[in-house]
Structure 1
């Protein structure tokens, strides 16, 4: 098989972990699945020679692993600085900007104590990665991001949709 096909196979496996992540309620379970997915996605980007994305996804895997145990804002800042350094040392134009932008939101999300806020920020970060993966020419990675957003929205609705609807209707009935 070609390197490109292998990269797409790795993304297909990562999709399973991404989908599972947002069907969990506990933020520790969410970020555990994302840690495993990040390793697979990092390898995918190495195979495609997308060095900024590969570096940021390896950093994301470490970040997700550590965020299982802590939501320290100081640690979050350290990861943001590391992400900036990776981006600057591997900079290759628009793709680097898009992957860094997605990383900013997903790093902030990983250190949120609330799984609800984590889900909201992940949608924004994933949107940047969606555009990145389209421009990088990885159709399975585009599908992964679309499914990730869909899974996140489904999980969000399952856990918060009804309470959001009640708050919304109460607001309009005043």
Structure 2
């Protein structure tokens, strides 16, 4: 098997791992699954010859796990500087700037946003990755990021509708509030 098909196979594996990421309402599971997906797709991009995308994806994996432990502005700044420094240093084509910009946006989202806002910024980041992956010819990368764009977009709409009905889709308890006065019987 040549390197191209190995890379495409890894991209398809990443597709299957990442497809359910944005269904998670639990922030911890959401971030862990996103991190695993990022590491695998990073390997795919390196094999496809896009070092800026590979480096950005690998930084995404580490950054996502670290964002579970801290929301420090300094840590966020370190990841943004690393992403820009590594990504821009390896830039060979203007389209390779898109995953770098997408990673900067998602870094900001993971450290500074919560809930629906996180998913909205991640949706914009995903749009950058879709354009890059299509340009690169990444079958698995285009499928997964296109799926992320669609699934996350639909979930943003669904979660927003829940919020309009007074339900917090990101709260620990998933039961909707009960209307009317509360009574307890003894």
TM-score (normalizing by structure 2): 0.82
Task: Give the equivalent residue in structure 2 for 1:24.
Answer: 24
Would the aligned equivalents of 2:19 and 2:148 in 1 still touch at CA under 8 Å? yes
Would the aligned equivalents of 1:15 and 1:148 in 2 still touch at CA under 8 Å? no
Q: How far 1:165 sits from its partner (Å)?
A: 7.5
Larger Cα Rg: Structure 1 or Structure 2? 2
Long gaps (5+) in structure 2: 167-186
Q: How far 1:39 sits from its partner (Å)?
A: 0.9
C-alpha spacing 1:165/1:136, structure 2 compared with 1 (3 Å): farther
Aligned equivalents of 2:100 and 2:164: distance in 1? Answer: 31
Task: Give the equivalent residue in structure 2 for 1:82.
Answer: 82
SS at match of 1:22: helix
Long gaps (5+) in structure 1: 167-174
- Number of aligned pairs? 166
* Mapping of residues 76-155 of structure 1, within 5 Å: 76-155=76-155
Aligned equivalents of 1:6 and 1:72: distance in 2? Answer: 38
Q: How far 1:90 sits from its partner (Å)?
A: 0.7
Q: How far 1:106 sits from its partner (Å)?
A: 1.2
TM-score (normalizing by structure 1): 0.87
Aligned equivalents of 1:69 and 1:19: distance in 2? Answer: 24
For residues 3-46 of structure 1, give each alpha carbon's deviation from its aligned partner in whole angstroms, at most 9, with x where no partner exists: 22222222222223322221111222111101100111111011
